[in-house]
Amino acid sequence: MRKLLRVALYLLAAIGLAVVLAGLTVLRGGFSARPKPLPMEPLIADGLRDLAMPGRAKKLASPLPQSADVLGEGRRHFAHDCAGCHGPDGSGTEFGRSMYPPVPDLREGVKDMTEGEIFFVVSNGIRFSGMPAFGRPGDARDERENWQIARFVHHLPDVTPEELAELRKLAAGPGEEPPAADAPAPKAGQAQAPGGKKK
């Protein structure tokens, strides 16, 4: 009953926000992803994401062992599949920050999430955002890769300088030079372009 009430309140808030945003959009000259989202937009988006995530996601346990190999594979998949938007260190890229809503800073955004919740997001994506669903449901190889990514994303707040250097190298596109290994990571909220170059 309490969850149903929360859903109803979030829906009412979303409808109210939609009306306000439509009015502001008309006043600002049209729909564009360029303006920074209004302060209440991320709060409502986070709330709707939480409501859309089934309770079982929090309880999902990774079938993979805690090992450097699993973390390394997750790092490799993250650099290949995720760093284009989220940046090698999870802080976001110029491309990711220009999306609407902008990609979150994963170093902060995953602190309260379980590995199971991250796996659910990677596997199912997030509607009304740029976050796609990865892999085919029921495919053992794809699910393993998604668990590896979830393990690494859960580890992002504690990424080491050596891991960051490897991520930048892996995420650099063909013909691009990764930034120096000792280049400092941007602070939370500071955009970073693909290949680790600061915006």
The mean pLDDT value for 126-151 works out to: 92
**pLDDT score of 19:** 73
Q: Is 198 helix (H, G, I), strand (E, B) or coil?
A: strand
Tell me which of 76 and 13 has the higher pLDDT.
76
Q: Is the pLDDT of residue 188 over 60?
A: no
pTM, two decimal places: 0.71
Tell me which of 152 and 4 has the higher pLDDT.
152
DSSP state of 139: -
What is the rounded CA–CA span in Å between residue 152 and residue 155?
5
**pLDDT score of 109:** 80
Q: Is the pLDDT of residue 180 over 60?
A: no
Residue 168: which H helix or E strand, with range? helix 161-171
Overall size of the chain counted in residues: 199
Q: Which tens digits make up the pLDDT trace of 61-100? A: 999 999 999 999 999 999 999 999 999 999 999 999 888 7
Tell me which of 8 and 169 has the higher pLDDT.
169
- Which residue, chain included where needed, has tokens 């600002």? 28
Structure tokens at 32: 């564009």
Arithmetic mean of pLDDT over the chain: 80
The mean pLDDT value for 146-150 works out to: 97
**pLDDT score of 182:** 43
Q: Which tens digits make up the pLDDT trace of 103-121? A: 889 998 888 899 999 999 9
Helix, strand and coil in the chain, % to nearest 5: 55, 0, 40
